[in-house]
Each structure stands twice: as structure tokens, then as C-alpha cells.
Structure 1
Amino acid sequence: MASKTLLGALIEKAGWEFPDFHRELRNAGNELARTLKDPRFRNLDMSEATFRRWVAGTVSRPTSVFSQTIQHMFDRTIAELLAPPREGDPTAVSRQDLERELAMTAREASDHAASVASAFLSDLSIEQVQEDVRQLARTYNSRPPFDVLREARQLRTNAEGLLDRTHIPEQKQQLLIAIGQTTALLALAAFGLGSLGEANRLARSAGMYAEVTRFTPLAAFAAGTLGMLAYWEGRPGEAIRFIRQAQSFPGVGTAGQARIAAIEARAYGHLGDQRRAAAAVERFLDVDTFERDGLHDEVAGEFLHGPERLARSHGTTFVLLRDGSRAREHTRRVLELQASLPAGQRISRIDAEARTDLAAALILGGEIEEAAEVLKPIAVLAPDRRANGLVERVVHVGRLLTTEPVRTSPVAAALREALEEYTRVAAPRQLGGTAARLVIE
């Protein structure tokens, strides 16, 4: 049956039912609301009964808002649309159908462009996130772990908020890398506070961000961190598995590879494998060429294991192997490197950890008085900055003081008591975290 109005004919030609027409009416109204800045056109609504009257031509004229909207939809005056279709003009409906399709396409393009524009994210916002990550990494060792934890959590939240505001793949990639880097720093902060379970979870999360973004330096760093956490928990065999995984990633610079080798040496030290531990230590002692990557070198800070941190780790390895001579060699090297730096660049935690390992090496040789002298400067490190790695080293020294031949020395007794108080007020103990299995046993 022929439609009684041109409006009805156009709707019939389009194959629309009432829900279809209602949707298109709303879209057209919302477009006019934006164009005319008139909220009356926003989210137009009508009943199906009214729609039927329009199509049947039993209404004289809709309200002004609906009239303008329908005219905008079909590019016809409301009088034409509510009048009968002209007979003998078979092109009328087809022409209007084409115009309607063009209008609909234009509206859809406009709506999509507006949606994309609303999700636009300035490159400056991403650059600020990247700079915040660099600053956090580079100030990590000069701040208490709990302060790092709070700032890293806020930084991660901010970056996640920006991630929801962009549809641009490159921007998403950059933000996900920044979130992954922040998560890696959170893992280290959790470790510093003595929460190994959460540190493991965060390190795995950092590895997943690295996998999604194909950012291999972060993947290697996360796997190396998991290896470190494994031997802290008394699982050196599993640590080796994580180290092999870390070594499998391409695109990791010399500094990143040296960190992995230092973790490998520590794991073999726990296993009592002196040959493999020494080989891992020596692998990066004399390197002629240096390759850089976008994490260990460009972000740097806590991600960069420079000579003093490598020497500190090697000293620990030889303490594990009860090789006092080589332990003293590497720990004294740390103190020399620290002393050569400007005061503002020295890392007090690294200095304290190296001194504690040096004291352990000296006690192994029966040099109790010299050990007590070496430990004196660690007292200046505030309790909230005595992270888990230092605390457990101090605990180990305390245990060595109960062994022969130093056990009966008055110096040993006084030193042991002082060290017990030193660890009692340290951050990991004050926060109620359970002590990790000793890194040195």
C-alpha cells in the first residue's frame, strides 16, 4: 500500500521500523545540539503513536524542535515531508534515499571525529609521565622505600588515567611502557619493605607489561628481579631459571646484561658453585665496548647497575662462598668508588650494604675490631631508609658474631647488641613484614 506521506515513503524505502527512525532522529538531534549549541535538541524522544501519526499524515505540524530535526534528517521542508509523495516521479524517493545516506554518513563521521577529538591526548602529557618515571628511578636510592611506594602508586594511577584518554597506538605503547617501569619500581620498593610476596606479584606484572609492549629491556629487568627474589626466598635453583629467561631477551644493553650476570653469580653463590659464580662475576669486569638500551641507560637510576652496585653484589657473592679475600676486594672497591663521587651522588644504602658485607668478610677472618670500625658509619642511615637488603645483611653479621672464634669477644657482644637494635627499628620490621629467608646463610 502506497504511503500517504513523503516521510512515510522515505522511511519505507529505507526499510526502517520505529526503533530505527527513533535512533536516527536522536542522532540528528544531538548533532544539531552541538552545532546550534541548543540543549533542546539533545536526546530527543517520542512515542510510537506519534510516529505513526506523522507517517500517516494525521498531524498538521510537529513542534519546532522536531520539525527542524526531521528536515535536517531528510533535507526536505516539513511541508513536503508531511504531504503525499508526488505521483509520476519515481526518482523522488530514490534521490531522497541517496541524500539521506549521505547525510547519515556525514553525521556518523562527525560523531566519530568528535569522539576521537574528545579522547585526544597531548604528547606533552606522555612526556611528563616519562619524565616522572625517570625522576622516580633516579631518586629511588635517596628516599625511604615507603615514600617511593606512595609516589610510584600515584604515578601509575595517573598514567592509567591517561591511557583511557587516547586511541593512538603509539601513545598507548608509550604509556604502557611507563606503567611497566613504574610497576618494576614498585616491586623493588615492596622488596625493600620486606614484602616478598607482593614484590613477586609486581615483578611478574612488570614482565607482562613488557611482553605486551615488546619492550625487551623491561622484560629482562623483570625476569632478573624475579631471579633475585627467588634466591632471597631460598630458591636459588629457580633463580637460575629466571636468569636464563632474562638472558634470552634481545636488545638489552651492557649495563642490563651486567646486572643479570651479578644476579646469576649470587644464585650460584647460594648453590655453593664457586666456579660458575666466579665466571659470572668476571664476565663483565673488563668490557671494552658498551651497548645502551632504553631502560637501564636512558631511564637509569634504580634500573642502572653501575660499577659500585656491581661490586657491592660481587662482594655479597664471595661472602656467600666464604671467600673472605675476594669479598674484601669487591666491598672495598665499592667504598672507593663511593668516596670518589661528589657527596650528592653517593648512595648511602649501597655504602651501608657494602660495609656490612665487608664486616662479614672481616669476621670470617677473625678481625672483629676492624669489623666494628667498618660498621660505624651505617648508623647515620635513618631507620626508614634501612631497606630489607641491608637489614638481612646486618642480621647475618649478628649471626656470625655468635660463632667461634669471635663469640666470646666483648667487642662481639657489644656489636651484636647494637646491631639487634639497628634492625629492630628498621622499616621492614616496623611495618610488620616478616623477614625474608636470609640472603646470606
Structure 2
Amino acid sequence: MEPASPTLFQQLITQRGWRDPDVFLRRYQEAARELAALEGPRNLATATIERRQFVRWARGEIKGQPRKEARRILAHLFRPVGVDRLFVPPGAASPAAGRRHGGEPALGCKEYDGDDMAEDVVMAAANESADFAVKVDGSNVGPATLDQLEADIRRMMLTYPHRPVGPLFTEVRRLRNRAFELIEGRQPPHHTVDLYLAAGTLCGVLANASFDLGRYEAADTQARTAFLCGEAAGHNGLRAWVRGLQALIAYWDGRPQDAVRLADAGAHFVPERGTAAIRLAAIKARAHGQLRQTTDALAALLTADRLRDRPRSEDDLPGGMMAFPLEKQLFYVSSAHLWLGGGQNLAEAERAAAEAVRGFEAAAPGQRRLGEMSLARLDLATARLGRGDLEGAAVQVHEVMVVNSRRGTESVRKRLAQFARRLAGHPGARSPMAVGLQAALAAHQEGFFLELPPGDAA
């Protein structure tokens, strides 16, 4: 008798390094607490499972589906994968997922297939309604169309930092195409300006997503289009933000001089309001740090601080991923000091990174900026490793690997690789803790992959 095919649950816990019962139970209990805080009831926060139950799941010995409470927690832990798909081989149709009572196909039987990253059925239905609203407006663009477009953009801005990048890419691309189509129609000039701003913002999101997926060339192309839309709209906030993104791409691509140049170019556009100018100064500081230009790096950090202290209105861009909160500025401070090196800079990097992590953790679980929090943790781990605190560094790195297995980005992958190289050259590299951490990092990097949407990423 041939062995049964592994279930999707078995594959996922292997990819994420959760095959150890204690590790999985800890993640399960964390998911239960998050779910209790987000949706309730409160007593869900204490939910757990028996070790033997996990062993049965891990061996593929489950019959049917887990109980209702466990299904909710598993759905939250493995989102966006549906629970009905967890305990069958990948690609197989689950009887529970395939049919409801009476034989009617279940909601989302096809749409929740994580292999093709299609939009889920709920968002597909919402988009169909939005398309209909465009026709009801009676003209190419009307108030209802613009209101819906703005609402969709704001939702994406708010959810981007904690959603897997691949599936979101498809949704943003569709909305950008809708904005392009509307621009090509006929509408009053003031609506054309609004549409250019919307299209530029969406191209900016796609640029950021392409960057997170490690596609720097595609990211540059998207950013150039976003900037042109900002020019057409006459919007300094968008132009400054896009120049900042281009500078950030250059920084991560190992071109710090280009990053400084692009940050300076962005500074010529004084944003109507918001944090784009602070972000530009902070990016410039990191680039000068990478160039080991201490005076310029510290001057840029001071500029960012002065800009933060000025009274200002909230972002006129949609906020969310395009905002530059204090905790993000703090981890840019830590990165700049790590590049500069030396005992004093190391201490300052550790202080700023620790404060940044606390700031990110203070957000509600469903609103945390996961990629940025991971980068701040890696700054903190690097600073602690530099002063010999291997245990403190390991705690942060393990947290990063858990998050990156669920929402991977190229920047975090690069930083993990940098940390691994530092660890290999550390005086304590042969200690049991260091050897174990190196093995965990190697396994994580070997299993790491970035989900790309079908078709051209540009």
C-alpha cells in the first residue's frame, strides 16, 4: 500500500519550522489570543490543543475536520489558506470545501485556492458591484465612482503591511487598470486630476510590492509611472513619496550614492502635508551611513527629527503603508548607526531599534507593520550580537523567521542573510546556541520563496 500524500498542513508546518509540538502550540496559542482580541469571544484567548492532537494532525491521521473553535484558530493562523484545504493533499478538493448541505458548491471552493493566488470570492463580488456603480453614475466618472476608488485605495493602504504581498498584488493591479481606463474616458478636468492621483498612488503600491517581491527592475518601472502621474496631478506629496521609494530601492540594491541623489531630488517637492519629507531625510541618512559618511548621516537624522517636530496635518495621501510613523523613523536611525559602526553607534542603534520594536508591537495584532517590525528586530539583533548578547539576538531572529515564513519580503530575506554572515564570523560562532541558530537560518533561507502573481510583475 502506497503512503498517503502529505497534507497541506504537513507541508506548511515544515516550511515554517513548526514541526516541533512546543513551537506549534506556542504559535497556535498566539493566534488564539490575536483572534480573541480581534473578533472575540474573550475566552478564546485561553484556547489550546493537546500535544497528541497536534501529532495526529502532523501525521495526517485526522478524519473529517477539527472542532469549530480549532477551525477558527487554524484559519487565522494559516490565513489566507482555507481550513478545508489544510488536511488534504495540496490541489485536492476537500469534500467539506466542495459542497454544502444539499450538494450546492460551497462559497469560495475555487477562489480560495492559494496555489493560484486568485482574489477571494468576497472581494470578487465587491469588485463586480463597484464596476456596476461606474455604469450607474451615468458618465465616465462621477462622485460614486471616485468615492469607491478612494475607499478601495484606503483599504489597501491599511491592510498592505500585514497581508501576504502576492495575493494583494493581483487586487491592486486590477484597481490600477480600472483607474487607467477611467483616465482614458471623458470627465471634468478636476476629476482627471483625482484619477491621476489615484492611478499614481496605485502604481506606487505596485512599485512597493514589486520591491518586496525582489523585482527591483519592475519596481523602478512602476515608480517612474507613479511619478509621472504625480506630475500630471501636480501633487507634491506623491512626487516626494515616489522619489523616496526610488531612493529606497537604490539603497537596497547597493547603490547608496543613487539613493542620496534621489532623496535630494525628492526634497525639492515640499509635500502639502504629511510625512513624506521626514521619510526622505531618514532614507538619506541610511544611504550616507552605508557610505560611511558620518557627518552627512547624522545631519540627515537631525533634519528628520526637526521635520518630525514641526506641526503638520495628517497625510493627504491615503496613509497606511504610505505613512512614515515614528517607530519606522526609529529603525531607520538604528540602521544608519549600524552602518557607521563603533561602540557609541552600536549602543545608539540598539536603543533606537528596541524603541522601534516596542512601537510596532503596540499596534493591534491586525494592524502591525510586519515587514518593518521584522527589519527593526534584525537591527536590534545585530546590535546585540555586536556587544556579545547572542541569546538576546537569537530571540529577535527567531521571531523574524516566524513572521517571514507567513509574509516574506526580499528586504527581510537579505537582512537575515546579512545576519547569518555576521554570526558565522562572530567569536561565539561555535557555541551550541550559535550553531543551532545558524542551522535554523540556513533551513529558513533554503525554504524561503516569494510568491509572484501570474503574468508580468510590471
Alignment TM-score, normalising by the size of structure 2: 0.65
**In the aligned structure 1, how far is the partner of 2:159 from the partner of 2:221?**
23
Deviation track 1:378-401 (CA, whole Å, cap 9, x = no partner) reads 243152512112111111110101
Q: Could you say what secondary structure the match of 1:250 adopts? A: coil
**In the aligned structure 1, how far is the partner of 2:213 from the partner of 2:448?**
9
The aligned residue for residue 259 of structure 1 is 279
Number of residue pairs the alignment of both structures matches: 313
Deviation track 1:398-430 (CA, whole Å, cap 9, x = no partner) reads 0101114133223222111211222333343x6
C-alpha displacement of 1:317: 1.7
**In the aligned structure 2, how far is the partner of 1:192 from the partner of 1:127?**
29
**Residue type of the alignment partner of 2:391:** E
Pairing 1:239-254 to 2, within 5 Å after superposition: 239-254=259-274
The aligned residue for residue 381 of structure 2 is 359
C-alpha displacement of 1:345: 3.0
Q: Could you say what secondary structure the match of 2:427 adopts? A: coil
The aligned residue for residue 220 of structure 1 is 240
Pairing 1:70-219 to 2, within 5 Å after superposition: 119-219=139-239
Q: Relative to structure 1, is the Cα distance of residues 252 and 264 closer, same or farther in structure 2, using a 3 angstrom cutoff? A: farther
Q: Would the aligned equivalents of 1:193 and 1:427 in 2 still touch at CA under 8 Å?
A: no
Q: Would the aligned equivalents of 2:330 and 2:355 in 1 still touch at CA under 8 Å?
A: yes
**In the aligned structure 1, how far is the partner of 2:316 from the partner of 2:281?**
17
C-alpha displacement of 1:224: 1.0
The aligned residue for residue 291 of structure 1 is 312
The aligned residue for residue 45 of structure 1 is none
Deviation track 1:76-97 (CA, whole Å, cap 9, x = no partner) reads xxxxxxxxxxxxxxxxxxxxxx
**In the aligned structure 2, how far is the partner of 1:406 from the partner of 1:431?**
38
C-alpha displacement of 1:119: 4.4
**In the aligned structure 2, how far is the partner of 1:166 from the partner of 1:280?**
45
Deviation track 1:239-272 (CA, whole Å, cap 9, x = no partner) reads 1111111000123435111111111011101110
Q: Relative to structure 1, is the Cα distance of residues 317 and 354 closer, same or farther in structure 2, using a 3 angstrom cutoff? A: same
**In the aligned structure 1, how far is the partner of 2:442 from the partner of 2:161?**
24
Q: Would the aligned equivalents of 1:266 and 1:314 in 2 still touch at CA under 8 Å?
A: yes
Deviation track 1:185-228 (CA, whole Å, cap 9, x = no partner) reads 00000010001111111111111111122111111111111111
Aligned partner of 2:323 among 294, 299, 304:
304
Structure 2: give runs of 5+ residues left out of the alignment. 1-136, 454-458
**In the aligned structure 2, how far is the partner of 1:251 from the partner of 1:245?**
13
| Root mean square deviation of aligned Cα | 2.1
Q: Relative to structure 1, is the Cα distance of residues 247 and 211 closer, same or farther in structure 2, using a 3 angstrom cutoff? A: same
The aligned residue for residue 336 of structure 1 is 358
Deviation track 1:351-393 (CA, whole Å, cap 9, x = no partner) reads 2221111111111222212211232322431525121121111
**In the aligned structure 1, how far is the partner of 2:252 from the partner of 2:370?**
22
Q: Relative to structure 1, is the Cα distance of residues 144 and 165 closer, same or farther in structure 2, using a 3 angstrom cutoff? A: same
**Residue type of the alignment partner of 1:328:** E
The aligned residue for residue 419 of structure 2 is 397
**In the aligned structure 1, how far is the partner of 2:403 from the partner of 2:165?**
13
The aligned residue for residue 319 of structure 1 is 338
The aligned residue for residue 82 of structure 1 is none
Q: Could you say what secondary structure the match of 2:275 adopts? A: helix
